[in-house]
Amino acid sequence: MSEKEIKNLEEIFEAKIARDEKIEPKDWMPEKYRQTHIRQISQHAHSEIVGMLPEGNWITRAPSLRRKVALLAKVQDEAGHGLYLYSACETLGVSRDELYEQLHTGKAKYSSIFNYPTLTWADMGAIGWLVDGAAIINQVPLCNTSFGPYARAMVRVCKEESFHQRQGYEIMLTLCNGTPEQKEMAQDALNRWWWPSLMMLGPTDDESVHTAQSMKWKLKRKTNDELRQQFIDQTVPQADILGITIPDPDLKWNEETGHYDFGPIDWDEFWQVVKGHGPCNKERIAARVNAWNNGEWVRDAAMAYAEKQENKKVSKAS
């Protein structure tokens, strides 16, 4: 294709997105659009899969059967969300094997929040409340993103996500209405998860390299700072109901802007964790790689069995 032809196709493509028309897998798309989507959708899928690990840690130690089945269902949903997203990503011409390879070798990133440890049962509450809360804020605008398979996967994810946040908040509420020690556990979990949750919404707008292009492609509909402000504004009153304190001395309502002002975020910590120096980066990837390698014989046996059955059918027919 000549440069002029590509430019022409690009113009048609941009106009389509501007009209809010969806892009489907077999439609022509700029190579950069394809690559950006593979990166973002696979990162999102990896986050769902790695996100199962910190919670899986507590399934066997949940304090009641009710809590256990709920946590199990939540973790199972996360596996499902990972699968919706991997399959959306594969429509862009990348194989599942390549995607796993990128995760396992550290070439692909996943949400840094999952590199923090889950030390107490209250962390299950804080994760559902804060981490899933921040995820919902990130994900709701993606239901309208321009790439059809991604948008459709996100609609399913968002529908299921609201149970996750409610079960987390209920855990927090129970602890906060319990003994002083239990309430202290809830406060401790909030202290540890608050700042990483704010970081989850991404670097500040002036540091975010992809924002401008992503807004144009409707891969992003609000900037990181807008999303973060929305998260803070919605979460502060929820902490008030619990009767615990958000660990930010600068946090206060600003009558003029109609938003909460908040203190500086430690971005050095964020970049350290992104670069692999968080408390659990190695442990998470090792757990994931182990699960994949130890499951290899099962995948092979299933494939061998399927082939054998297929051959039987063929020989019977002839």
Q: How far is the CB of 306 from another protein (least distance, A)?
A: 4
Q: In the chain, at which residue ranges do the beta strands (DSSP E only) sit?
A: 252-254, 259-261
Q: Nearest 10 degrees: CA dihedral of 30, 33, 35, 41?
A: -150
List beta partners, residue 252.
261
With the C-alpha atoms ordered 146, 148, 152, 157, is the resulting torsion angle positive or negative? Answer: negative
Closer CB to another protein, 98 or 283, in the complex: 98
Residues whose CB is less than 8 angstroms from the CB of residue 110 and which lie 6 or more positions away in sequence, other chains included:
43, 46, 47, 49, 50, 51, 103
Q: How far is the CB of 311 from another protein (least distance, A)?
A: 12
Q: How far is the CB of 273 from another protein (least distance, A)?
A: 28
Amino acid 196 reads P
Closer CB to another protein, 98 or 225, in the complex: 98
Closer CB to another protein, 233 or 310, in the complex: 310
Closest among 207, 74, 61 to 131, alpha carbons compared: 74
Show the tokens assigned to 53: 């690990």
Closer CB to another protein, 92 or 239, in the complex: 92
Closer CB to another protein, 54 or 149, in the complex: 149
Residues engaged in binding another protein (CB under 8 A): 24, 26-28, 73, 76-77, 80, 83-84, 87-88, 90, 95-98, 101, 149, 152-153, 160, 299-300, 302-303, 305-307, 309-310
Q: How far is the CB of 309 from another protein (least distance, A)?
A: 7
Please tell me the distance from the alpha carbon of residue 225 to that of residue 235, in angstroms, as a whole number.
Answer: 15
Closer CB to another protein, 144 or 293, in the complex: 293
Buried b (16+ CB within 10 A) or exposed e, 276-306: eebebbeebbebbeeeeeeeeeeeeeeeeee
Q: How far is the CB of 13 from another protein (least distance, A)?
A: 12
Q: How far is the CB of 63 from another protein (least distance, A)?
A: 24
Closer CB to another protein, 10 or 283, in the complex: 10
Longest Cα–Cα distance of the chain, Å, equals 81
Q: How far is the CB of 87 from another protein (least distance, A)?
A: 4
SS percent in the chain: helix, strand, coil, step 5:
70, 5, 25
Residue with tokens 């891969």: 219
Closer CB to another protein, 56 or 80, in the complex: 80
CB-count burial class (<10 Å; 0-12, 13-18, 19+) for 52: buried
Q: How far is the CB of 36 from another protein (least distance, A)?
A: 20
Identify whether the C-beta of residue 269 lies closer than 8 Å to the C-beta of residue 278: no
